[in-house]
Amino acid sequence: MNFTDFRTLGLALISIALGATGQFLFRAGMLKVGKVTLQTIWSQLFQIIFTPAIFLGFLCFGLSSILWLIIISRWQLSFAYPLVALGYVLVIAYGTVFLQETLDLPRIIGSLFIVSGVGILGLTGKF
CA distance 121 to 38: 38
CA distance 121 to 115: 10
Domain of residue 60 covers 3-124
State residue 5's pLDDT score. 85
Across 2-126, the runs of DSSP E, i.e. the strands, are none
State residue 126's pLDDT score. 62
State residue 122's pLDDT score. 81
CA distance 113 to 99: 23
**Eight-class DSSP state of 19:** H
Number of domains in the chain: 1
Q: The pTM is what? A: 0.91
Residue 118: is it exposed, middle or buried by C-beta count within 10 angstroms (0-12/13-18/19+)? middle
State residue 68's pLDDT score. 98
State residue 7's pLDDT score. 94
| Sequential pLDDT tens for the chain (127 residues) | 677 888 999 999 999 999 999 999 999 999 999 999 999 999 999 999 999 999 999 999 999 999 999 999 999 998 899 999 999 999 999 999 999 999 999 999 999 999 999 999 887 766 5
